Chains A and B, each alone.
Chain A
Amino acid sequence: MHNSKIIAAKEFRTAYKDKVFIMIVLLFLLMSIASVYIGSTTKNAELKAYQDIVSVIQSEGGALPAAPEIFPLAILKNIITYITMIGAVLAIFLGFDSFSSERENGTLKLLLSKPVYRDQLITGKLLGAGVIIGGILIVTLLFNLTLFIVTTGLLPGVNEILRLVIFFFLAFVYMMSFYIVTLYVSIRTQDRTSGFLIMMVLWVFISFVIPQLADTQKNFAYALNSIASTVTQIPSDTALSKTIEYFSPAVQFSNVSGDLLQTVSATATTSVASVLGKNLPALLDLFFPGILFLILSYTRVQREDAI
């Protein structure tokens, strides 16, 4: 364990000496913080628009539409997108040269000539990445909580704090999954640029292409508004769209997170346990790639002759 800790500490120091990595961390933190501000501004505008609509309808003597339901945690919903987008790229940036750079610089040979087991090397790298990603998410959580209190003037209850903590834990799992897959690709590829680009293509597929393919297979039901005689299209899942979504951990993360951050009114006031119970298949899908590639990484490093 001691050797793993030393490697983890080295990973931590290396990451924070890398200017490009610092740039993406700052971008992530900035967007996470901005998301609270953007979320609350939009919700305020939405409420004001509703009041304007009510005064227009009252002057015409028509029936009033129901007020939009606004749940407090929903103002943080943009952070789901930022974690799916920038959080995953941040994990790729952290992991793409974790093995290949050691190989290219010749330090891997040197390291393995010392009394360090190969599995300790992987454990050390994982620990280092876990501390970095965990640290970034804890800072984001604290910032978000503070801004949430400042912008809404509300003190979150136990249920809301629990929802937030679980959301950040799932964000940690999601980002670590990307790191682990990147680590595996870094073990398998000879040069770091190829590893990075392979992961970027994978990221594009998981985060955008598969969700869009799933969207095209959704049903669009027509909802009729009896007051204004307007028609709106409401998307609903089909068996095929749900099956396609299982190939994308990004969709599963967004679905569970949407429920946790009260963006869906049906699950906004239920207990955390029932939200997690409802999303059990999605949670399993979220954990599966990380565990699979972790096993593959350990196996590959142990068996490789010319590592």
Chain B
Amino acid sequence: MKPIRTILKKEISDAVRNKLFLVILGMLLVLTIVSVVLGAFQVKANLDAYNQSVSFLKSLGKTDFPAAPNLNPLASSKNFVNYIGLLGALMAIILGNAAIVKEKRNGTLKLILSRQIFRDKYLNGKILGNLTLLFSISMFTFVISLASVAFISTVSLTLDDITRMLAFFIMSFLYMSVFLILGVLLAVAIPNGNKALLVTVIIWLIFSFILPQIGDTMDMDNQLPGGFFSAMGMNKADTQKVLDNFKFYETARDSIEQMSPTKHYERASFALLNVKPGFETNTTLQILSIKWIDLLGLLAPIIVLWLITYVIFLKRENIYQE
């Protein structure tokens, strides 16, 4: 256990000396506060627009008003989901790639493995060290977000709000972990460190941008601003009736989205943050059990990628070469 702890500590001290990592981390923390501030402004602007619409309806003599906009304080962290999807994933890729490549370049990988340390312990130390770092960042951002929301928002947070937020930051940690381990795997599998980084970025592009974008494009309701079905004057039940005629099309669209960890992260996070309607009365545990497929969509790649990394790292002869 001692060698793992030593490598773990070394990984953390290396990361806090990596300028680029610190710059991205700084940006992420600034954006966390910015997203809460802008979210609060947006809620206020939406409320003003809603009040104007209600006054207009009243002047027409109508009594049936649309539902009020979402005022829940958690929704102000909505943009943070996107920032983690972008900067958080990029930060994790840098950490994962650097964990292996720096040792190869400096020749220290050869040196360390010539000592009494098994390869699996070495790999565990590397991955656990970086996971600890990502977890600490997630928890630190959770505290900052909580403080910002409590300070800026006029609506007070309940215990359930706090546990939802905590669960959301744990989801963020899992999402970043997928790309951390992908970065480690490709740095182990591809001898050239630069190429490994480029290939990791391409895979990230495919799974985080291209697949969700295809899914969004195929969503019929996305074809018009405000929604295609709303523009056609359809309510929820009628929309579902029409969509039932497109079962194959909708299944194909959903399957494309299911392949993306970003989409799983987004779906679970939007439910936890109450951005997606329908989860307002559920507890955190209930949401996680409803969204188990999204939780699995993040956990499964972590486990599979970790196992593949093990197999490659334990079996490869020329692991030192760059």
Contact = CB atoms under 8 A, between A and B. Distances in A.
Nearest to A222: B53
B150 interface: no
Contact of B201 (A89, A233, A235): A89
Interface string B194-216: 11011101100110011001100
B148 interface: no
B246 A49 contact: yes
Nearest to B24: A201
Interface in B164-208: 193-195, 197-199, 201-202, 205-206
A52 B243 CA distance: 10
Contacts of A232: 226-227, 230-231
B230 A56 contact: no
Contacts of B205: 27, 85-86, 89
A223 B224 CA distance: 13
Interface string A74-94: 000010010001100100010
B311 interface: no
A93 B200 CA distance: 13
A298 interface: no
A27 B234 CA distance: 38
Contacts of B20: 194, 197-198, 201
A280 interface: no
Interface residues of B, number: 61
A78 B201 contact: no
B42 interface: yes
A196 B101 CA distance: 15
A49 B231 contact: no
Interface string B143-175: 000000000000000000000000000000000
A219 interface: yes
Interface string B40-57: 011001100110110001
Nearest to A85: B209
B24 A52 contact: no
B276 to A, nearest CB: 15
Interface string A210-243: 0011001101111111011111111100000000
A93 B201 CA distance: 10
Interface string B105-129: 0000000000000000000000000
Contacts of B249: 41, 45
Contacts of A198: 20
Contact of A38 (B90, B218, B242): B218
A41 to B, nearest CB: 7
Contacts of A170: none
B294 to A, nearest CB: 21
Contacts of B223: 42-43, 46, 68
B73 interface: no
A216 B42 CA distance: 6
A50 interface: yes
Contact of B194 (A34, A192, A212): A192
Contacts of A225: 230-231, 233
Nearest to A235: B225
A39 B45 CA distance: 34
A220 B234 contact: no
A3 to B, nearest CB: 28
Contacts of A34: 214
Max chain B C-beta neighbours (<10 A), residue from A39, A222, A227: A222
A208 interface: yes
27 contacts: A20-B198, A23-B202, A31-B210, A34-B214, A38-B217, A41-B218, A41-B249, A48-B245, A49-B246, A53-B234, A56-B241, A65-B232, A68-B223, A86-B205, A197-B90, A201-B20, A204-B87, A208-B82, A212-B82, A213-B34, A219-B45, A220-B49, A221-B49, A222-B52, A227-B233, A230-B233, A234-B226
Interface of B: 20, 23-24, 27, 31, 34, 38-39, 41-42, 45-46, 49-50, 52-53, 57, 64, 66, 79, 82-83, 86-87, 90, 94, 193-195, 197-199, 201-202, 205-206, 209-210, 213-214, 217-218, 220, 223-228, 230-235, 238, 241-242, 245-246, 249
